[in-house]
């Protein structure tokens, strides 16, 4: 696969093959589960909220999970639900639409990563290598897991990265164009906030971080002016929205009281150490760190090593590493931390590690003979992976991807009962959010956490029937349905 072929680095054929390979890796990681039914419980809850909005249950600023549980949902801001609801309004309520929206956010994020890469000064040498940061991004476990799970971080990360892209472009601009870019960035930062809250505000630090890395090129005075202008435009966007829409203010304040303040006060402790999020970030970045080390070792040459750590490569690595930290480190303020919270930081980290590894990858590509058997085999592998992903996607249509027993039972019970009714749930189901969401999402059936208030009672398979209830004979696996006599 290697040899000597002049100018092969710039061969469109070589880079097309790696673009295809990156698309194939993305497809094999995302598509097989795309048309299967079943979601991680958080993503299921979000899709249920979005579906309810599409069918008229709840309002944008006061979304509703069900009539009995979270009749007004304020655990997160509502923009991601609102956008996803458009998918249901346009295409219906098919279960496959739950993940389709996430796939669109991945495509948007990957496109922005490539666009930002092409804007870097080093892109003159590595302009066709835009596939590299995209590949680095999707192979990190949290990345593809989040897109398969319909997480809010997918939407927030897209808006935040778009803001970073425009802010970066604005640094080299002057006058009205600069102002318009900053104003648009501010609106995107607001959108990021209304998708998942305060973590979406990290682009506000970009001008300061750029100044830290490029002191000589970017004067302190300009940094201060640009930062103040960005803060002003962002604050103005919030102010205008709250002034013009009472629901926006009421809904946002309810979110802050319900989620933010209670988390900061320690009422929603998930981890014992506030350093948990940094460890979760390190675990994701280990993949990239090892890849970069392998590349540098395999292509061990003094010239290659020097290129990896010279200016501007080292400067842009530091810039995007700092931006990535600004998107993740502030989470340590709260004792409520989960590993997928770092998701919005991963696109910029992928760019950082792609920058530092680009010289070694370029040196490797330069040795490829485009007509060699090895390279042609590599192309076949890429096509094969893409075809396999598409076949698995089609073959898996309608199958249960997760929660098989749960979905099996809910489908049987849901077909038996009338839409819109409320059924009781036994104490054994108090933490079964999957049942709450699946019944609501698929059959418009509300679960009420009580016994005896409704005609029907849902129970775990091993629970004893309360007095005056008779079990309905159904072939169920996880639950049993009882009826009041």
> What is the widest separation between alpha-carbon atoms in the chain?
85
Phi, psi for 483 (deg, rounded to 5): -125, 140
* Residue 365 confidence (pLDDT): 86
* Residue 8 confidence (pLDDT): 44
Strand 469-471: give its sheet, edge to edge.
446-448, 422-425, 456-460, 479-484, 469-471
* Residue 3 confidence (pLDDT): 41
Residues 6 or more apart in contact with residue 160 via CB below 8 angstroms? 188, 189, 192, 200, 202, 203, 327, 344
Nearest one of 350, 374, 377 to 291, comparing CA atoms:
350
Is residue 101 within 8 A of residue 79, CB to CB? The reply is no
Per the structure block, which two tokens stand in for 377?
């085999």
Alpha-helical runs (H) found in 245-372: 246-255, 262-264, 276-298, 302-308, 313-326, 346-366
Residues 6 or more apart in contact with residue 481 via CB below 8 angstroms? 413, 416, 456, 457, 458, 459, 471, 472, 474
* Residue 161 confidence (pLDDT): 98
* Residue 291 confidence (pLDDT): 86
Phi, psi for 252 (deg, rounded to 5): -70, -40
DSSP 2: B
Q: What gap in Å lies between CA 306 and CA 308, rounded to an integer?
A: 5
Integer-rounded Cα radius of gyration of the chain: 25
Residue in this structure with the two tokens 């090593």, named with its chain if needed: 305
Q: What gap in Å lies between CA 309 and CA 301, rounded to an integer?
A: 13
* Residue 336 confidence (pLDDT): 77
Q: What is the pLDDT of residues 254-300, one digit of tens each?
A: 999 988 888 777 666 666 677 888 898 999 999 899 888 887 776 65
Digit-by-digit pLDDT tens for the chain (485 residues) are 444 344 544 467 888 999 999 999 999 999 998 888 999 999 999 999 999 999 999 999 999 999 999 999 999 999 999 999 999 999 988 888 888 999 999 999 999 999 999 999 876 778 889 999 999 999 999 999 999 999 999 999 999 999 999 999 999 999 999 999 999 999 999 999 999 999 999 999 999 999 999 988 899 999 999 999 999 999 999 999 999 998 999 999 999 998 888 877 766 666 667 788 889 899 999 989 988 888 777 665 555 555 555 667 889 999 999 999 999 988 888 777 788 899 999 999 999 999 988 888 888 888 888 888 988 999 999 999 999 999 999 998 888 888 999 999 999 999 999 999 999 999 989 889 999 999 999 999 999 988 877 999 999 998 999 888 999 999 999 999 999 88
* Residue 162 confidence (pLDDT): 98
Using DSSP's 3-state secondary structure scheme, residue 157 falls into helix
DSSP 403: -
Using DSSP's 3-state secondary structure scheme, residue 31 falls into helix
Is residue 43 within 8 A of residue 394, CB to CB? The reply is no
Peptide bond into 312 cis (omega under 30): yes
Q: What is the mean pLDDT of the chain?
A: 90
Q: What gap in Å lies between CA 65 and CA 55, rounded to an integer?
A: 12
């Amino acid at each position: 696969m290697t040899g000597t072929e002049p100018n092969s680095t710039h061969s469109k054929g070589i880079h097309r093959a790696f673009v295809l390979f990156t698309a194939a890796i993305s497809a094999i990681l995302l598509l097989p589960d795309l048309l299967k039914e079943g979601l991680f419980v958080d993503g299921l809850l979000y899709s249920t909220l979005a579906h309810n909005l599409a069918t008229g249950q709840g309002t944008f600023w006061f979304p509703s999970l069900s009539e009995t549980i979270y009749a007004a949902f304020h655990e997160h801001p509502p923009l991601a639900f609102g956008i996803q609801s458009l998918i249901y309004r346009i295409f219906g309520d098919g279960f496959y639409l739950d993940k389709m929206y996430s796939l669109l956010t991945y495509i948007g994020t990957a496109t922005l990563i490539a666009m930002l890469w092409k804007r870097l000064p080093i892109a003159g040498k590595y302009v066709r290598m835009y596939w590299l940061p995209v590949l680095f991004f999707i192979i990190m476990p949290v990345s593809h897991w989040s897109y398969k799970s319909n997480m809010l971080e997918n939407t927030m990360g897209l808006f935040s990265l778009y803001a970073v892209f425009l802010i970066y472009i604005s640094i080299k601009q002057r006058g009205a164009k600069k102002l318009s870019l900053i104003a648009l960035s501010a609106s995107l930062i607001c959108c990021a906030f209304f998708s998942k809250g305060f973590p979406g505000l990290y682009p506000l630090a970009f001008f300061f971080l750029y100044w830290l890395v490029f002191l000589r090129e970017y004067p302190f005075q300009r940094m201060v002016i640009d930062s103040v202008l960005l803060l002003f435009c962002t604050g103005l966007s919030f102010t205008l929205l709250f002034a013009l829409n009472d629901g926006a203010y009421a809904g946002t304040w309810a979110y802050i009281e319900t989620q933010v303040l209670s988390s900061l006060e320690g009422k929603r402790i998930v981890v014992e150490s506030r350093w948990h999020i940094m460890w979760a970030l390190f675990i994701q970045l280990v993949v990239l760190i090892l890849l970069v080390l392998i590349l540098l070792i395999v292509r061990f040459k003094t010239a290659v090593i020097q290129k990896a750590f010279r200016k501007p490569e080292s400067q842009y690595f530091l810039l995007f590493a700092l931006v990535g930290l600004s998107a993740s480190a502030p989470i340590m303020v709260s004792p409520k931390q989960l590993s997928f919270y770092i998701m919005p930081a991963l696109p910029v980290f992928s760019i950082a590690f792609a920058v530092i590894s680009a010289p070694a990858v370029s040196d490797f590509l330069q040795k490829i003979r485009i007509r060699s058997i090895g390279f042609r085999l590599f192309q076949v592998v890429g096509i094969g992976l893409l075809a396999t992903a598409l076949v698995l996607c089609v073959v898996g249509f309608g199958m249960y991807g997760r929660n098989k027993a749960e979905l099996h039972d809910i489908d049987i019970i849901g077909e038996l009962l009338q839409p819109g009714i409320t059924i009781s749930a036994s104490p054994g189901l108090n933490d079964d959010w999957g049942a709450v969401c699946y019944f609501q999402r698929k059959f418009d059936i509300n679960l009420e956490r009580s016994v005896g208030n409704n005609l029907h009672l849902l129970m775990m398979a091993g629970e004893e029937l309360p007095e005056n209830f008779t079990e309905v004979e159904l072939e169920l696996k996880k639950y049993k349905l009882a009826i009041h006599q």
